């Protein structure tokens, strides 16, 4: 379940694999790009780079803050070229807990500046959370859907 609470987005989902299996999908570039984005540059250590190309021109970037295999990954997040949520301006915390033969993943994305930014990221994390669960379970989640067309406000 995901719930946007002010400027924080929370997601909790069960993945049909152990934390040892799930964790590399959060830290290994080739595995990360299988569920979110088309390419990733990750250096999973405190201060290391976090950079994900969602497509050729949309890049999320920040830095790793905490990495405790196979349980916790924390990194900063923002969008290159964006002034509302610039690179490294928000924080994503992902915790993995054993749940029988699976994992409960809890994600909290905090520091989002507006309700609209929280809503956009809630939608994104819901989509990519389901893609992560599929990929880790050995399924093909298919292509990433195109974002809805934005109406020109002018």
pLDDT score for 153: 45
The predicted-structure confidence for 98-107, as pLDDT tens digits, reads as follows 999 999 999 9
What value does the mean pLDDT take over residues 113-136?
A: 95
What value does the mean pLDDT take over residues 131-141?
A: 94
Question: Comparing C-alpha atoms, which of 2, 35, 28 is closest to residue 136?
Answer: 35
Give CA–CA dist 82/78, Å, rounded. Answer: 8
SS3 content of the chain, % helix, strand, coil (to 5): 20, 35, 40
Give CA–CA dist 16/45, Å, rounded. Answer: 26
Give the global pTM.
Answer: 0.89
Domains of the chain, first to last: 2-136 (3.30.530.20)
CB-based contact 75:64 (threshold 8 Å): yes
Question: Comparing C-alpha atoms, which of 123, 113, 126, 120 is closest to residue 7?
Answer: 113
Partners of residue 41 on adjacent β-strands: 51
CB-based contact 54:38 (threshold 8 Å): yes
SS3 at position 73? strand
The predicted-structure confidence for 6-59, as pLDDT tens digits, reads as follows 499 999 999 999 999 999 999 999 999 999 999 999 999 999 999 999 998 999
Token look-up 């609470």 returns 5
Task: Read off the tokens for 102.
Answer: 């699976």
CB-based contact 136:22 (threshold 8 Å): yes
Q: What is the DSSP string of 104-116?
A: EEEEEEE--SSHH
């Amino acid at each position: 379940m995901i719930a946007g609470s002010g400027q924080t987005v929370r997601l909790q989902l069960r993945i049909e694999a152990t934390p040892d299996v799930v964790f590399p999908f959060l830290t290994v570039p080739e595995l990360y790009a299988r569920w979110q984005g088309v390419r990733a540059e990750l250096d999973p250590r405190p201060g290391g780079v976090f950079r994900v190309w969602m497509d050729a021109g949309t890049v999320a970037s920040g830095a790793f803050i905490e990495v405790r295999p196979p349980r916790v990954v924390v990194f900063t997040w923002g969008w290159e070229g964006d002034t509302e949520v610039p690179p490294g301006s928000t924080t994503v915390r992902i915790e993995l807990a054993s749940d029988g033969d699976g994992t409960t993943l809890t994600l909290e994305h905090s520091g989002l500046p507006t309700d609209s930014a929280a809503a956009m990221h809630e939608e994104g994390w819901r989509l990519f959370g389901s893609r992560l669960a599929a990929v880790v379970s050995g399924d093909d989640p298919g292509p990433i859907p195109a974002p809805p067309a934005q109406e020109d406000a002018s």
